[in-house]
Every structure is written in structure tokens, then in C-alpha cells.
Chain A
């Protein structure tokens, strides 16, 4: 019977490219998400290097100002929507079913569709460069009314965002349904791994905030083509309204990126400290409060629009509040390490890099929370430095930690530990060369999004550009490490990390079988 069953099963699984086009398997879809995001990461990275090459020296050497603006715009959009968000959805697809003892995601066909929406969106984003007039040179924030002046590339970017938004919302509905309905018996909410909790919270953030962004860009579209005046003061609208709507999405978006990263770190640190996560309930509550607060602080991105001083005061106090749950998380991670028995394999190194640099990003966030200081630093490189500490050293380092951590489970082979460590140290050093000095540029007053700058900014810009190229090359090295592991990595032991306690390590073989937990594990005792 068993053999017959297997035979008929194989018969229905297409091979080659069709396997991936038609797949409904969470592991295939997770892998596609991860590869897609890595490809986008490299594309966005090349754009960053175009920016840094132009800024290497004062004067216009490499690109025209218009193209420079298109690069800053697409770099932002591609990194946020194409690289970081899909990367963590990839982790969610691979890990959530395995960590809660479910056979797959709740809606496998919708899962396939949410992934396959991404490539057309990516093509629209990149293809906008080829449109007459090029892509929109408006910054990833796409402030009106500058968006009205753009060519057709702007419309392509708007449609790309619509599609990405649909993908995110479908992915989130899938994740919420899976987590709420498909946990193994005995896996109560407060026993879920923290990674699962963070994704549950993130998915709610996505469902609540992506439609707001879709609304903002749709209004931009109708202002552009259909004679509406949402953001045109001459027609009774208000350009600042756009900023309010955008940041009502934009601030939760920051946490959409950061919270799954917290989840990965909350798995990696306990594993390599060989000690349970400190303060699990407070981690859950802290994450939830960060998520709720994230909807209440949006206008701290726009202190210079001239809002009433009372509003500025409210946003300053609300923003400061975020420091409390964020602090709790950092303290909990340090307390998890405290009196542990730590070892420093590559995932743990990246987790430590995350902890150190994300905390620095949190500190500069505290500086920016103080409104009179923020107004001085608004739209300067200080802000650029701040959010790259959170996005790159935060989210990206967490993603690296996650890849190195779960790779043995995914492919059944080990990466080269020595090369992984080199990748970490190169990333850490070049990241800081690139971005730490940007704090100085911002304090000295260098505006963001300028292709050329006054001579007083020359020194740190040159340092930053050197760091950026080093960082970029380090990520090509990461691709080599991955390919080497996949092609010729050593066979992974059943349990490569002796401190791991979650279901994918304790209840599944390595590598994880194509179909896992067809009958749920019973965790009731």
C-alpha cells in the first residue's frame, strides 16, 4: 500500500520549473521568497553603490542628478518591499508550520499566488527605469506634489506597490490563519516560539497598514491622471495630507521589518546561550505594545511640516514611550545570555552584531525622538544613518542569523563555518565604516538625497563610500558561501545546534522532509 501511495504521489508532482510555478508546498514557496529577496537585495545593493560612487567625491562624476534621484527612490523601494519584507515572509513560510507542528500553511494555493505576485512587481519597479523619463525620482516616500511631475515610471511604481501590497496582505492572512488554527495540540499561544509570535503581530500590522499605503498611492494616481486634487492646495487639497497617510503606513512598516527580526534573534540567542529566553511573556507583551504604539507616532517623521506645537509635543511623548518596550527587549536578550553557556557560531555572531548595532540604532532613535533635536537632523544623513542601523544592522543581520541558523535544517548540509565568520566580520566592519560616519555628516547638516555636496562633507563621504563597496562585496561573498553549502556542504548532523528547543529541531529529521507533520505532534504533556 505504502509503495503504491508514494508512486501515485510522485506522479502528480511536476518537475523542473513547473514544480515551482505550481507548488503549494510551504518549503518550496519559502525558498522562492528567500531567493527572490536575495536577488532583489543584490539589485538594490547595486543601486546603493551607484549612489555611493556618485557621492565618493564632490562634483557630478558618475550619474546625472535625475538618475541619482531615481536610484535613491528605487534603492529604498526595492530594499524595503523587494528584499527585507519577502525575506522574512520566506522565513515565515519555512518556519511557522514546522515550529507549530502544522503540515503546511492554511491556504497553500493563496500562498503560491502571494509569491508569484512578487516577480511582476519587481519587474515593474526595475522596468520603470526604462520608461520614457525614467523611474520616479521622488524618494521611496513619494511625497506629493513632486509625484505629479513624474513620467510614466511613476505609474509603474504605483502599480508595483499595489501588487506588493496585495501579496503582503494575502501572505499575512495566511500567516494569521495558520498560527491561530493549525497549532499542534498542546501548543498554546503562550508556548509558541517567539518567532511565531512576532510574525502573528507583524501580520496584523501588515493587514492594517498596507491598505493605507495603497490608498495613498491610489490618490497619487488619480491626482496624476484623473483630475482629483487630494494633494493639490489649489484644488482644495493638502500636500501634507499625503505625508500623514504615508507615515500612518510608514511607521508601522518600520516595525513590520523589525519585529520578525526580533523573532529570529529571540530564537538564535537562547539556542547558542543554551538557556531559555528570559522573560518570554514580557517579550510577547513588549512586541505587542511596540506594534500598537507604532500606529500612534507617525507624525514624528514630519516635524518640519509646520504642525501645531501641541501635536509636536504629543508625538514627542508617544515616540519616547516606544523606548520602554524596546528597552525591555534588549534587556531580555542580554539577560538570556547572562550566565548562559555561549558559543559563537555564525548565527550567534550575527545575533550579537544585531544586538549591539540595533541598540545603537535605538539610541539614535532616542536622540531623534527629542523634537527640537529632530528638527535640526530632519532630512539629513543622521536619519539615513539611523534607519540603516535599524534596517541593515537590525533586519538584515537578523536575516543572516536566520539563514545560517536554519540552513542545515532546510538543505541538510552545513555552511563553511570559517567563511561564515569571515562574512560576519566583513559585514560588521564595513557596515560601520559606511554608516557610522553618516551620523557625523548629518550632524554637520548634509541633506539627504543630494547628488553633490559642499566641500565640508567631502571627507566622511569618501569614507562612507569605501565602506559601502566593501559591504557590497561582502554580500557577494555571502552568495558564494550559500552556493558552496548547497553544492558541496558537509552533511549536517541530525542536531547541529545542541541548544535548540523548537519543534523543527526536536521533532523533525535533518533535512526536514518535503512534507512534515502530516499528523500533528502531541505536545499536551
Chain B
């Protein structure tokens, strides 16, 4: 009995070891690489010291009285119940402390909200559940989606160090430049925040807000969505890579070349197997969160694709809902702006031939034609 209990306890401890190995036991803010972030930490420290001071006085009096003025040590109760002088004193002192806090707080707030004279502007658009970025000066657009594999989330695989904080396309910015981020949203409210850069701004559908930061140190900084935006709220990270000016230019050129290239060869007739294989990747990256493994869905909010009316019905209807979203169910987003023609053709092939067995496919070139209509 005893040994089996011991073994079980050991087993439980072993099970926790992977998390213990990355033990951080953080007690304070993530170190900031912006000057404003450091100032925010400094004012936080100042407020904490004020609190320590007040605590010593208030809790000191409280515990002194708990120890000394108790019936069990024979203390007799006094009968005083007012003292105008002391009441004025303990109203005035907090006023003075608050005024002393308000000055640096006001100065810092004005500085953090100043997004003028920025060197570059990136628009960040919240989608359920990914971020879309647009470098306004260069016209570069891309989407940034969680890259942590599903099997790490479900516990099938060991979690990597950047678990849930890894994306397929990072935001890359040059070091020492003031970067202005415009935020907006395509559906519900999200919030764009990277603690290491000390920025947080809601992304609100129909409105554009802005925030700015200037990173002083090269490195990779990770953040998340901070406003509840539905089911996958915890799974839409933000990764900002701060690089040197040269590296930034190299990255930008490569990215522009990549985004200009067509996603498919218009002269090629794609085979079912090829599209299905590619479609599985697209499905796992974009559809599986709601429509689940094997297209089983979570009815009624997330209908099943397996045996579903749309995925077994007409090709036009299937393509329409993927390109334009659903009129009836606001949870089904329009994927036309997000996915390439090739990806849409692939995911349709996967849904119709792997999840279902309708047997038909649509060529990427036909998607381009459908978009043009």
C-alpha cells in the first residue's frame, strides 16, 4: 500500500516535471524594451513603495491594536469615538499622496498616448481568430495565425517553449524606429498587446485606433489577444520580431516578392490527391477549431461538414459560403480575403473528397474566375 502510494505520488510529480522545468515564478512585469515601458515599470515601483509605506502605518496600527488592545490581555475599552483633528489629518495626507502620484502619472500618460511623428505604420486587423497585418507604406499584407500544433494543445505532444505564442507569419519591425500600429477588427472586439513592448489597444470593428512603440533592442517579443473574442480567444498570439534596419529591408523585399507571386500555376490541371493533401493543411490551420477533426462540427453553432448540406451539395454553394461567409450564421467568416485561390480549391477538395465523398473538385483558376464575378 505504502509503496504504491509513493509510486503514485512520484508519478504525479513526474507528470508535472515538464512544467517545472520551465518554472519561471515571475513576480513582476515582463522586462520592457521600450523607454516608455521602463517608465511605466518605474511608476509602478513608485506606487508599490507608497503602498508599502501606507501598509506599514495602517496594518501596523491594526496589528498593534489586535495584540495589545484585546480583552484576553485585560485591556479595558476606552469610549472615544471622534477626533476632528485626526480625521482631518488622515483625509489631507491621502490627498497629498494622490496629488504627488498624479503628476508623474499625467506626464507618462500623455507620453504613452503620443503616436505622432512615427517612422512607419502597420495596420493590425483582428479576425476570429488570427491577426491580419498591412504595412501601409509598402502595401504588404499578410495574415498571422497560431502555429502551435493542435497535438501540443490536446496533450498528444510535448509542448515547445513558445507554446501558444508562435505564429506562421511574424510582424517584423526595425529597431529604434517609432512604429505606429493602427488597430481595427473584422468581426468582434479584439485587443492587440505585446507586454514586452508595453502596448495594448483594443481592435474595434468599424473604428480605427492607434498606438505606437519604439523598440530599443533586437529580439522577438510575444503577445496575445486581450479582449474576449469567442471560442479561440486564447489562441491568437502576436509575435513581433525587432531586427536591424538591413535585416528589415531584406525581409520586406523577400516578403513583397513572395506575396506578389501567384499561389498556383494557371495552366496546370491539379489532381485530386494533390489538392486533398494541401487541403488538409489548410483545414487544420483554419477550419478545425470550429468544424473539428473529421468535419464533425459542434452543432448547432458550428455545423458538421461531414454529411453536411453545403459540403455535399452544389459546388457553387460550397464555394460561396467559403468566399463570402454565411448570412445565417455570423460565426462563419468570409474566407475570400484570407485564403489564396489555391488554398480555397485545396480545402474544398479536402472537404468533398476526404471528409465527404462527393468526388468532385474545383480548380484554383476557377476560384479566381469566381472572385472576378
Contact = CB atoms under 8 A, between A and B. Distances in A.
B101 A139 contact: no
Contacts of A331: 58, 90
B331 to A, nearest CB: 6
Interface string A105-139: 00000000000000000000000000011100111
Given A375-B112, A445-B223, A278 B82 contact: yes
Interface string A274-318: 111111111000000000000000000000111001001100110
Q: Is the interface of A mostly helix, strand, loop or mixed?
A: helix
Contacts of B233: 65, 69, 447, 449-450
Contact of B300 (A132, A238, A370): A132
Nearest to A73: B228
A451 B70 contact: no
A455 interface: yes
A460 B161 CA distance: 17
Interface residues of B, number: 104
A445 B105 contact: no
A149 B193 CA distance: 24
A14 interface: no
B230 A340 contact: no
Interface string A333-356: 011111111111000000010011
Contacts of A233: 204-207
Contact of B75 (A132, A340, A352): A340
A57 interface: yes
B47 A443 contact: no
Interface residues of A, number: 99
Interface stretch (B26-34, B274-282, B341-349, B351-359): B26-34
A455 B161 contact: yes
A275 B81 contact: yes
Contacts of B162: 454
Interface string A442-461: 01110111111111101110
Interface in B305-335: 330-331
B181 to A, nearest CB: 12
A138 B202 CA distance: 16
B187 interface: yes
Interface in A34-91: 57-61, 64-66, 69
A379 interface: yes
B296 to A, nearest CB: 13
A316 B226 CA distance: 21
Contacts of B47: 366-367, 370, 373
Contacts of A440: 25-28
Given A146-B188, A356-B62, A378-B200, A337 B69 contact: yes
Contacts of B20: 459
Contact of B91 (A324, A335, A367, A458): A324
Interface in B21-75: 22-30, 39-40, 43-44, 47-48, 50-51, 54-55, 58-59, 61-62, 65-66, 69-72, 75
A287 to B, nearest CB: 15
B205 A370 contact: no
A380 interface: yes
B71 A341 contact: yes
Interface string B94-129: 110010011001101110110000000000000000
B283 to A, nearest CB: 18
Given A65-B232, A66-B231, A342-B69, A317 B102 contact: yes
A143 interface: yes
B23 to A, nearest CB: 5
A31 interface: no
Contacts of A335: 83, 86
A344 B72 CA distance: 9
B228 A239 contact: no
B81 A452 contact: no
| Interface-centre pick from B79, B163, B209 (highest chain A CB count, 10 A) | B163
A328 interface: yes
B236 to A, nearest CB: 10
B103 to A, nearest CB: 11
A334 B81 contact: no
A138 B229 CA distance: 8
A356 B233 CA distance: 35
Given A146-B188, A339-B80, A305 B202 contact: yes
Nearest to A270: B81
Contacts of A339: 65, 69, 75, 77-78, 80
Nearest to B224: A447
B145 interface: no
Given A452-B234, A460-B25, A59 B195 contact: no
Contact of B16 (A137, A238, A462): A462
B61 A338 contact: yes
Contacts of B66: 337, 342, 352
| Interface-centre pick from B98, B154, B209 (highest chain A CB count, 10 A) | B98
A323 interface: yes
B87 interface: yes
Contacts of B51: 363, 366-367
B29 A137 contact: no
B106 A323 contact: no
Contacts of B79: 275-276
A245 to B, nearest CB: 15
Given A139-B228, A367-B51, A375-B200, A324 B95 contact: yes
A416 B155 CA distance: 46
A433 B331 CA distance: 38
Given A320-B101, A372-B43, A376-B40, A279 B81 contact: yes
A341 B40 contact: no
B165 interface: yes
Contact of A312 (B109, B183, B227): B109
A161 interface: no
Contact of A275 (B22, B23, B77, B193): B77
Given A65-B234, A145-B187, A445-B30, 18 more contacts: A58-B159, A146-B189, A233-B206, A275-B77, A275-B81, A306-B202, A306-B204, A306-B207, A328-B87, A334-B65, A341-B77, A366-B47, A370-B43, A440-B26, A443-B29, A447-B224, A447-B226, A459-B23
